[in-house]
Amino acid sequence: MRPARLLLPLAVATGVLVAFPLAAQDTTAGRGVHIGMQYTPGLKPNVLVLAIPGDLRDSARTIIERDLDAGDRVTIIPNTGGQLAAAVGGGSAAMNYALYAKLGAAAVVQCTLAPASLHVVVHDVGHARVADSRDAVISGAPLGPEWRLAVHGASDEIERTITGVRGIAATRVAFVRDGQIYEIDADGANARALTGPGLALSPAWHPTGRYVTFSLFTPKGTLIAVEDVQAHAVRTLAATPWGLNTTPLFSPDGNTVVYTHGDEGGTDLYLAPAFAPGAARRITVGKGTDNTQPTFSPDGKRLAFTSGRLGHPEVYITDIDGTDAELLTPFEYGDADAYRASPDWSPDGRLIAYQSRVAGTFQVMTISLRDHAVKQLTSDGLNSDPSWAPDSRHVVFTSTRTGVQQLCILDAESGRTRQLTHGSAARIAAWSRALAPLP
């Protein structure tokens, strides 16, 4: 295993100031350097988040600490009661680097909160200087969804500065509760309904995070619906044939939706325009078998899906035109537990997560696209319907380990698990891509 590296991009003179929500130019490109800090393999760099002056300081600091901790790439040094602080300003002269070094900190996060902005400075303790300096624009009611999303976006950039990998805090998870589609922040806050009364299932996010598609039950059958989350407007796909239509999913470019259509001849996958007029195109020809639960490869050229063509569900991969279908998940004839379904392709393209029956109970597994190596991720309770986070490391899934169906998040590398939802049952989750733009 390679030693962990702390990547701290340093500006030539002072920290570079960039607004988080804007798709600004990379002002550090070609001017900064990366410092690699070596650690014992398996350990994570220690990070200290200083007390934040101003209104809502405790809430903002708590959110940032929790976001960094949930990313599983750093270790948070407890700042009990926010006792450790620094002079407002953000320069290295205000920092007691010797003290922070004695506390074991590799990096120190210093923030200043104003009504409409959050100024963030990341300090490289080992080199006693500023590593990065940025401004996040804060909007919306304090502690409301948009306010929190902005703080989450700041957390993700802090994590990227320290580790070289952007965090996943500025994301949301869609799920089903009481027949409605809900969304919830990645830290478990602000659960709220997206759909009204009626039965809806199988949510999936548009790559931009603005739309959610799902299966909508009507008196005439099930239709594929698309909701504009910002405008709270729902429409159904005109290309969807009447009948049983389920498990929709946007393509990686967001222009089409793949879904399952079922009739007396079985179920098959179809592809239809997401926003423009056009007819649906059939992808699979099941010949009386069930083909369902599609998931795109990151490049949009292939699909993994569940098929019962062997007499029981297994995961297959096919080209987007339905050719070259091949079995992915391994099984042995006569295996009473042979049941593998609900695949989800990781954003980095390396793995597919799915549910597999193990000793009579569903568990979450991954299979490598390179060598078909299988790894079991869960064992406590019944666990199903995995969905990858944008970092291809964390997975959200439905679990009964608390006695009722709830969503849990698992670090596929360490096995660390945390419960995301509480209250009434929650299931069938879909993780969005990053919702806060890169600076």
| Whether residue 422 sits in one domain with residue 367 | yes
Q: Over 70: is that where the pLDDT of 207 sits?
A: yes
Asked whether residue 438 is domain-assigned, the answer is no
pLDDT at 140 (0 to 100)? 87
**Do residues 300 and 294 make contact, with C-beta atoms less than 8 angstroms apart?**
no
In whole angstroms, what is the distance from residue 322 CA to residue 408 CA? 33
Written as six digits, the tokens of 335 are 């295996």
Q: Over 50: is that where the pLDDT of 10 sits?
A: no
| Whether residue 146 sits in one domain with residue 276 | no
CA dihedral 122, 123, 127, 132 (to 10 degrees): 30
Total tally of structural domains belonging to the chain = 2
Residue with tokens 């096919």: 318
Backbone angles phi, psi at 349, to 5 degrees: 80, 0
| Residue 29's pLDDT band (cuts 50, 70, 90) | very low
pLDDT at 40 (0 to 100)? 45
In whole angstroms, what is the distance from residue 261 CA to residue 415 CA? 36
pLDDT at 42 (0 to 100)? 57
> How large is the average pLDDT for residues 414-433?
97
Asked whether residue 109 is domain-assigned, the answer is yes
Average pLDDT, the chain: 86
Q: Over 90: is that where the pLDDT of 184 sits?
A: yes
Return the closest-CA partner of residue 406 out of 195, 187, 176. 176
CATH code of residue 231: 2.120.10.30
Owning domain of residue 121: 1-170
Q: Which of 137, 170, 203 is the last residue of a domain?
A: 170
CATH code of residue 10: 3.40.50.10070
Asked whether residue 49 is domain-assigned, the answer is yes
| Whether residue 244 sits in one domain with residue 380 | yes
pLDDT at 57 (0 to 100)? 60
Asked whether residue 439 is domain-assigned, the answer is no
DSSP single-letter state for residue 432: -
Return the closest-CA partner of residue 294 out of 303, 285, 302. 303
Of 39-53, 151-165, 195-209, 379-393, the least confident: 39-53
Q: Which of 128, 145, 170 is the last residue of a domain?
A: 170
pLDDT at 361 (0 to 100)? 96
Instruction: Give all strands of the β-sheet with 221-228 in edge-to-edge order.
Output: 200-205, 211-218, 221-228, 233-236
Asked whether residue 382 is domain-assigned, the answer is yes
3-state secondary structure of 326: strand
Question: How many CA atoms, within 13 angstroms, populate the side-chain half-sphere of residue 284?
Answer: 32
pLDDT at 36 (0 to 100)? 43
DSSP single-letter state for residue 100: H
Burial 305-325 (b: 16+ CB within 10 A, else e): bbbbbeebbbbbbbebebeeb
| Whether residue 265 sits in one domain with residue 399 | yes
Asked whether residue 11 is domain-assigned, the answer is yes
Q: Over 80: is that where the pLDDT of 53 sits?
A: no
